[in-house]
Structure 1
Amino acid sequence: MSITQTVAAIGRLGFTGNVTPKIWYKQISLPSGRPDHKAITLLSEILYWYRPTEIRDEHTGQVIGHRKKFSADKLQRSYQSFADDFGMTKREVQDSLKRLRDAGLITLELRSKTVGGNHLSNILFIEPVAIEIDRITFPVVDDGVTPNCNTSSENSEDTQREDVGAPTLKRGTYTEITTKTSTETENLDLLSDSAESNELAVADDSDSFDAKAKRELLTEAFVTFYDAYQKKSGRKSAEKAFLKIKLPNDRESAIEFLTGIMIQAKRWGDLYALAPDDQKQYQPHPATWINNERWSDEELPTIRNNGQSSRDWATEMVNEEERF
């Protein structure tokens, strides 16, 4: 059977990005039985970041490994970044992630870490629970038992979980995970079960994050950037370019954004630090790197050192630092 011109044209577009299994609209639902569209959207976004990226040999095209898309051991995202991406309010994002967590589909972890000399607390890290994602996406249908997660039966003790949607929660029935990590994990709860106090545990300082505060943050972050990038040239022009970086309008998202830049700058710096002397000249000047927003590059430049390409180096460095 031949395809139409429109089908062929769409096929050439090469869409990439989030994937939403159709069955989720039945499996992830609100108490009313209607699909929980906001939670589904956020879960799809979270899983995008956890899908590994292939590392291919540049000569043969064969897959030689995989890497993660984010820098730490778990995905770091702020509520505001989700809200900005999907047209939600921060409160809607908080509530939706809480429902996913209470359904056992994700974990939420709060950590503290130091970035550019600033001690930051209540930084959110998110991780999907793979076995539960598999369960709702590829449910096993037993005789007399529907795979819909909102269905419960008094006679089924092992085959059904509690409602994957938004069941009525009881106070004190959940805890945040408290894994010890190098970033000093704190056992803090992000959201209250109480509807009247379902806000961030830390005060929102977005109102005070004005142009002056942004410039102060950029000024301090530049010192970290310049050290990480390692090419010591044109510091004045580099700082001027760095201070022009457009930050998100809340401090939490701005710090997250700058952290990603620092991680990528260090990867570039480490790459050229290991490069042969005749290759070091090709490292862009700091100001050029900033003005061209090279932190958003998908891959590191290809440089050879004793027969080893930069992609091989990236594979070795991925356990320490990776693009967020």
Structure 2
Amino acid sequence: MTSNPPAFAPVPPGAEGPAIPDQGYLRQEIGDGLHLVTDGVYQMMFLATGDGVVAVDAPPALGRFILPAVAEVTSMPVTHVVYSHHHADHIGAASIYPEEAQRWAHRDTAVLLDRLHDKRRPSPTGIVDDSHVLTVGDQELRLDYRGPNHSPGNLFVYAPRQRTLMLIDVIFPGWVPFDSLAQSTDIPGWVDAHDHILGYDFDTFVGGHVSRLGTREDVTLQQEYLRDVRAAIEEERAGLDMQQVMQRASDPKNPWAFVETMNDLFTTAATNSVNAKWTGRLAGADVYTRSNVRAMASALHIDYGTLH
């Protein structure tokens, strides 16, 4: 027996990026030697210099495309690699790079990779604690750590000459955040990262996912979405009828049923409220707002201590 697939809202034009060629990837020059490589879902970037290429990340989805994309620009080898963070979906193809290439990551990323023993993600040879300027030829990238957000060790990668900032799994240009606020390990840190982003002098933003490059406006728009998510949760939770919760949970000896019923009621109401404003404005609102509401509600309860 088959069921009809769920009907999702159309992707608004503002979320659409450039078409992906038949070769399966798009190389897009950001400027002055800095290039984006994307398949329309994942993104990495590389910086061509007179003394070699600096590659930032290696998503397995792009693994077979990265070196051909570099070869379109230069015959120089990849001499330096930057790991944004330890997650396999962003650096799981890092073994494609030359063994002798320098590999830079935050100390927390190095610890996690050493524990995982994944040959596809070779251990870093250069460690970042707070900040490091990686200079190769006449180009530079600044690697900054502002505390945990999406994951421990997630680096801000800033190209000052190109006025470009990369931070993975925090901003999703044109889209609501992916599942459960990108499944972040530290939601207050993830929320604060938005302000850290806006502290940089940039025009172009690389978020690691979806269809296009981002702008400062994408950051402030996502902040507005998050404020609406939080406000809707607080309003709906404050107005919840506990008698209704008790009746729906039915078994007074089952506290888990009571808590889940309570969560389901205010989550549904908050999700409907947010989606009424954001569906058609940011792509995927009807897909992931519910999980984002649940993640934010958990953070408000456990981390911020404002939801009781």
Normalising by the smaller structure, the TM-score range is under 0.3
Larger strand percent? 2
TM-score, length of structure 1 as denominator length: 0.23
* Structure 2 length-normalised TM: 0.24
